[in-house]
Amino acid sequence: MIITTSASSANLGPGFDSIGMAVSLYLKVEVVEPSKTWQVDHDLPGIAHDASNLIVQSALKTSPHLEPMHLKVTSNIPLARGLGSSSSAIVAGIELANQMQHLQLTDEQKVELGSQIEGHPDNIAPTILGGLVVGSFVNGHFDTVQLPFLPYSLVAYIPHYQLSTKKSRSVLPENLSRQQAVQASAIANTFVASLAMGNYQQAGELMQADLFHEPYRQKLVPELGKIRQLGQESGALATYLSGAGSTVMTVIRQDLAADFIKKLPAHGLNDRIELLHPLKQGVQVSY
């Protein structure tokens, strides 16, 4: 059995901790055989190979009596770059327990479990459901709504440096004034409405108007401003900080992407660049 989960890109500007989108980078978990102890083979730096691995921990939180297994993991999702690497592992663990224990979990139950482990649904929900999802924690549980599929390509600029969520959150203010909160919320609300209505030009403008986190995090990811300017010159819809960073994501038409990508190294932006696309499908299982 092979479980495939995707990367995800959260926030999309003003949708702070509430909006996420499944994107085309993948983690795969192959069940090799039963084992006396948990064994997780992979080549990911700094990631555990035993029962403390996040995939295994998530599986055991889903089903505490799950028997140990030998797993083989491959992934092209970069770690600590704002592309949902931890969520992809959490969802893989939930699905591992679901399949091996025949739990028949619904998507809603999987989102609830994953969000409890992760703390919020912005990366978890799209990794399970696919597509573009907005979610929140209300009345003791996580509610999600799928938005229309985003019909654009994505160019991910992935800096060489990691940026932990903890560090990225440390630069955010503890409080906003009422006026700031109202303005930031109004931008976020109008952004979600524009996505729901398919008004992507308006959505693109609002995607670059966030007041919740990007103004504070930009000093940690100086590439954001430069790439946003190049994106505007190249006809991109918008550029935003993916999750907590450090990945910078540009939303652009497929026919404009190649020329935009060529501009990045020419302006001293020489780290990893990936041409991606939003994914309609969520977690997948094959035998």
Q: 143 and 157 in one domain? A: no
Residues facing 277 on adjacent strands: none
CATH number at residue 143: 3.30.230.10
Q: 207 and 185 in one domain? A: yes
Q: 222 and 116 in one domain? A: no
pTM above 0.85? yes
Q: 143 and 6 in one domain? A: yes
Q: What does the pLDDT look like over 244-282, one tens digit per residue?
A: 999 999 999 999 999 999 999 999 999 999 999 999 999
pLDDT at residue 142, as a whole number = 87
Q: 159 and 125 in one domain? A: no
Contact 6, 127 (CB under 8 A): yes
Q: What does the pLDDT look like over 135-181, one tens digit per residue?
A: 998 888 888 999 999 999 999 999 999 988 888 999 999 999 999 99
Q: What does the pLDDT look like over 38-94, one tens digit per residue?
A: 999 999 999 999 999 999 999 999 999 999 999 999 999 999 999 999 999 999 999
Question: Does the pLDDT at position 119 exceed 90?
Answer: no
CATH number at residue 160: 3.30.70.890
Q: 92 and 201 in one domain? A: no
Q: 253 and 130 in one domain? A: no
Q: 130 and 71 in one domain? A: yes
Identify the band that residue 5 occupies on the pLDDT scale cut at 50, 70 and 90.
very high
Domain count within the chain: 2
Q: 93 and 210 in one domain? A: no
Q: 107 and 219 in one domain? A: no
Domain that holds residue 181: 153-276
Element (H, E) at 251: strand 248-252
Q: 129 and 159 in one domain? A: no
Q: 225 and 121 in one domain? A: no
Can you tell me the distance from the alpha carbon of 155 to that of 124, in angstroms, rounded to the nearest whole number?
A: 21
Maximal C-alpha separation, the chain? 58
